[in-house]
Amino acid sequence: MISPDLSDRVSLVTGSATGVGRELLLAMADCGADVAVHYRKSAEEAAAVADRARGADVGVTTVQGDVTDPDAVNGLFDRVEVDLGTVDVLVNNVGAFAPVHWEEMAFETWQTVLETNLNGTYLCSKRALPGMREAGEGRIVNVGYASGDRALVSPKNFPYFVAKTGVLMFTRMLAADTADDGITVNAVSPYVVENSDEFPDDLPRDRPAGFADLAQAVLFFLDPDSDYISGANVEISGGWLPEKV
């Protein structure tokens, strides 16, 4: 795995108490970044991740908050800034997944999927930008979904597809809007990951994406030499072809 020098960076990964977020945060800590472990309800898991990150001899804090609540987002960023400094790297990882037919899905679930995936990405990015603009540099990486740029849909888990397509559109827009600010905005879009809720019968390359596969792409975007790469989306799909029939 590539290992960019992140020793002068403060990284916030939303939803980093478990799963993909946890592994991305630990990969950044291994590269020397000070890290903020974010959680909403998983306080014990967040504390355990923080302990692991401290083993890399970096600054660590834990922050709690609902990324769909503007006041909570402001509060968690305030805490990071007090404990570690201005956020240089933001990974928008939070996003609910609900593999249910749209007619059978509760409205509250519909809202949660849309708000955590799209609104959370918007709110956290908006809050991070002033500090990044003042510093003249910054990195934002959003987590999308493979095929999101094709606007593919399914009756099952429909709001997730809609939200992730929105995340990729937001990524392109924000990359253009920050082109003169020293900030890059990119996306990584997995298909099936090793901790996914469901696995198809026919996996590309006979396996799901590993956490390391996603970390490889994220760390590439964070490398100082990747400062011209913005508005990109890397699919971590093993070559999955959704059009195949």
Instruction: Catalogue the active-site residues.
Output: 160
Cβ pair 241, 200 in contact under 8 A = no
Three-class SS of 119-182 = HHHHHHHHHHHHHHHHHCCEEEEEECCCCHHHCCCCCECHHHHHHHHHHHHHHHHHHHHCCCCC
Total Cβ atoms within 10 A of residue 201: 4
91 sits in which H/E element = strand 89-92
**What distances in angstroms separate CA 82 from CA 63, 70, 76, 86, 126, one per listed residue?**
11, 18, 10, 8, 19
The partner residues of 184 in beta bridges, in order of sequence, read 139
- Say which residues have a Cβ less than 8 Å from residue 92's Cβ, sequence separation at least 6: 14, 120, 121, 124, 125, 140, 141, 142, 143, 167
Closest by CA position to 214, among listed 193, 184, 239? 193
